[in-house]
Amino acid sequence: MKPDFEVAWRSPSNIALVKYWGKHGVQLPNNASLSMTLKNAHTVTSFKAYHLQSGLQVKYLFEKKHHPEFESRIKLYLESLLKEMPFLEEYAFEISSENSFPHSTGIASSASSMSALALCLVSFENVFLNKNFYVDFFAERASQIARLGSGSASRSIYGMWSTWGEIDGFPETSDRYASPIGIKPAPMFQKMGDAVLIVSSAPKKVSSTMGHSLMNVHPFSKARYEQANENLQALLFAMQVGDFETFASIVENEALTLHSLLMTSSDDGLLLKPGSLQIIDAIRKFRSQTNVKLCFTLDAGPNVHLLYPESEKQKVHGFIHDELLQFCENRTWINDGIGDGSQQISTKNL
């Protein structure tokens, strides 16, 4: 049967430098966050809608195989969107996704997959309701719909750097959707590498949803939200003026703050492994001995993201091979960097 509507999007993952950790209401952040959009780690989602009038139905394939668990999560997500998009009720959907990166690598698959799906949904809304959304509004709407699926996904709509959450002095920012960063970063921050050092590919024990909710009872949460907003302002300034030292110090502090909160929230929050700490230690030593511009950040897991301006690539890759791969599981790392953001793609050959 020919679908009534068909579209496909490729959407990247992102790595947060100022972390979103703690939320309220309907997926609203307790502090603003800032992220770098990745280039290679992405999800491709193809989306087909059939007009059926028999209530919302979903068939979901992940990496070409039927995946009942993801299918029921996506069905719940689409049902939760009925207030926003009531027309979804009259359709059956065939959704198929593939990731360019393996599972449990410290690359946020919910960010790329939920943003890719949100972009498909907003494309459908645009055509179905004959809206002719302006490009900027389309992105804002997709970011809002992505946020409802996973907070960090709201930032994956845009290329390069994005922020999500209200920031003082930046009136275009909102808790409801992410926006492209409101400053012009210095050249060194426009071409960045991200080496993801895989310390362990075992699935993590603490889910983001659980982790966010533990922030509601953490004794330091109020101070944390204030600190995040201050760090964000200071990071924007450092990026604008090209101050790598301040950039590195804020980014590393954010990563370690996230893990301090995690490990003091629950027994399952101790996610760092000896290898993670050995890598962190080696990065700091190498930086102080060589003055090479590099720093680390962490997601909610043991793997380390090593960030550096492209101009340092040769030295950093040499350092990874000589000193860091010994701490990585099967000497595995993923070579990624800053990317241009999401893109609609042809549905042929998918």
Burial of 11 (0-12, 13-18, 19+ CB in 10 A): buried
Which residues are bridge partners to 334 per DSSP? 196
Least separation in angstroms between CB 207 and ligand DP6: 8
Give the list of residues 6+ apart from residue 162 with CB closer than 8 angstroms, or none.
14, 34, 35, 37, 155, 156, 178, 179, 180, 181
Least separation in angstroms between CB 243 and ligand DP6: 22
Least separation in angstroms between CB 3 and ligand DP6: 29
What whole-number distance in Å separates Cα of residue 231 and Cα of residue 148?
25
**Identity of the residue, 19 or 141, whose beta carbon is nearer to ligand DP6 in the bound complex:** 19
Rounded to the nearest 10°, the torsion over CA 110, 114, 115, 119 is: 170
Least separation in angstroms between CB 22 and ligand DP6: 10
Least separation in angstroms between CB 229 and ligand DP6: 14
**Identity of the residue, 49 or 179, whose beta carbon is nearer to ligand DP6 in the bound complex:** 179
**Identity of the residue, 60 or 319, whose beta carbon is nearer to ligand DP6 in the bound complex:** 60
Least separation in angstroms between CB 331 and ligand DP6: 25
**Identity of the residue, 46 or 109, whose beta carbon is nearer to ligand DP6 in the bound complex:** 109
> What CA–CA distances, in Å, run from 160 to 38, 180, 230?
8, 8, 22
Least separation in angstroms between CB 151 and ligand DP6: 3
* Dihedrals phi, psi of 109, to nearest 5 degrees: -75, -25
**Identity of the residue, 125 or 299, whose beta carbon is nearer to ligand DP6 in the bound complex:** 299
**Identity of the residue, 20 or 319, whose beta carbon is nearer to ligand DP6 in the bound complex:** 20
**Identity of the residue, 116 or 316, whose beta carbon is nearer to ligand DP6 in the bound complex:** 116
- Please tell me whether residue 162 adopts helix, strand or coil conformation: strand
Contact residues for ligand DP6 (CB under 6 A)?
Answer: 16, 19-21, 27, 33, 108, 110, 150-152, 208-209, 212, 258, 299-300
Instruction: Name the residue among 170, 142, 178 with its Cα closest to residue 29.
Output: 178
Rounded to the nearest 10°, the torsion over CA 288, 290, 291, 293 is: -100
b (16+ CB within 10 A) / e for 91-102: bbbbbbbbbbbe
Instruction: Name the residue among 39, 198, 10, 208 with its Cα closest to residue 99.
Output: 10
First-to-last C-alpha distance (Å) of the chain: 17
